[in-house]
Structure 1
């Protein structure tokens, strides 16, 4: 009887191993397919597919995974290998769903005796319109080998479990029964941390748990779609703002000849225009161009000190202490938007951190480092890795006003001049945000 019960218990476990391995492989390559879909958006509109084809070939060489992109008429636009047959049954099913704007169903479990490749497809979308699809043909040999090893381990565990039951060990069985609820609990925590692509398995479980898992997956999908709509909104809003800004600038230029005060309005209009351009780049609707670097280098320390004059008054009005630390001169690209970057960092420090807030500019090898440090609660190690992601906000700060775009813009601006953003916990607590940009060698102090 114990042997029969053990065998009955092993069946759903074996199914879980095969399904879990398949889902893990599918989800890991889904992120790559999403990236290819994003990169294919502009080439599908412009027709310039040379760079897209190069990316596909490089990805194939690196991960041994063929990839190709088709347009809405299922014509192969770019591929890493020739001979793609879009009428193959597995590809046809995936493309039917993807080109209709739906996510294809997850592939079946990776049993060792199954052969063939896994198809992972994602739609290429612009403003809600499907332009085509990015498709990966993922090899499954390693996944099937992993499942085979898992099944062998399961067989060994089955023999041990029989002995354990015989001698009265019930606790492991109880844990197995509760595993679906533990999976759901873990997935809920992942969702709260911002991992909106988290899903739970619904195969081989009781009807009640299957319905609960389906409801959870539907909720996670709705949240993921809402985040996508937020990104599309930013792209649309930045696009719609360009025309009225241009018109306003023309009118104010005419007024500036009559009123010197209008010149200040021109400066604000130009700055607002730059903000709209950055939002557009951040949303992925524009391809950032190369920086010409024709202007003279900018002394980052001097630019920071000039901007801090206004911020000291703002902090003083709120009874907050702002400390100006070490200011080491260093030349950086003139295109770096120092005012906007410093505004975001000091605004975040005043809202989410705690005084005193210290600003410094130093050199570190070939980099000039602008640091803003507060003495608040800081961030955990997982949250530190997410700093700068679009629409991401720490769980401690989600009840506070904000969009989650400030640090994303800072990271985008730093990257535009070859720099980067680093978040770290300093000694003594709090949080340090460092904007590290390349030092211009021919700059003279």
Structure 2
């Protein structure tokens, strides 16, 4: 059953669930209503029987004669042919047949052991109400009390008063039929309303489904769904729009990365191909290249291969997904120690430069290799743009690393682009590099929870500032 329900469309399931819930609610309300009305009607019948009992004067009835004669039955109609309204009879505890008041009784009610028990107890305060039938099988509501007159109780004798239930049962049957009819109409209306509500409420979901199917079929990430209001559907639509926008941006960045990487790779590959073809043609033709030219060609090949290796390494670094911990070892490392190593490498690359360093201890949580690569890139930029015999200032205090060179500096219009992939300022396009160094720096610092910025320094040059959260002392080792 559950499997079949799950196989239905969501709209049909909602309509069915609504109809079922309404049907259960209507059934419960109808049942309670019928039971309450039945109780009220029976209370009225019982009150009528009790009132009739109080109006009966057994002194006017020759009880002894009635018991001696003990007529077992009476006609159900009066002398005018109208149905009599009540049953009157006496019953004895000995188990004999009941004795009816032949003149006034509508018939004879079947006697039960409970009636004889009331007769045997002879307690005028005891009264019992029950449903029963007369000898013709008609339903009767019966009151049984001890027979008494003027406070005197007739021994082993009880008075039974009954009233036909045909009108009460007819009313209850009519009420049951009416409730059943209203319930049926209510369930059908609830089903139709549920279907309409499901269609209306799921219309945004249908639009969302259509958009998702369209994207899956055409890979068109420009699709947007109108989002109105603050309900769950609107939130889902906005989330879908944000997701497709992010996917579109990611795809554009990927295509841009591929195009930029292809463009950057083309230059060293073209140079390599030209130099290798010259060397190969020299071997094929037997015409030797002058030694100085040959050495220049081999040096160019080596430089181009080094540039290719650096570019491929940068592309591999950028290809790792942001925030992914796969293949990474995040731990507490001494940023000052990493900076010392990066500074030694920078001195080797710029032996003609003067480096001044003011480095204080600072421990951060991150990936040591990535942080080392980022610091090396920052110092390489300072070396690259420093004039011969220039000065590079390095300072690390309280988690803030500052690297300043005294080169030409960066124009104000170029600052917003310095961390973009493959972007290179016009003055730096003749220098070696792929344009990925600062992009790698920004990514690494952000992953470590810090921030990086570049700005023109007072007096000329460029200042790179990196701020990383940490502490001047390492945390205590856990046992």
TM-score bracket, normalised by the shorter chain, equals 0.3 to 0.5
Larger Rg: 2
What is the TM-score with the length of structure 1 in the denominator? 0.38
What is the TM-score with the length of structure 2 in the denominator? 0.35
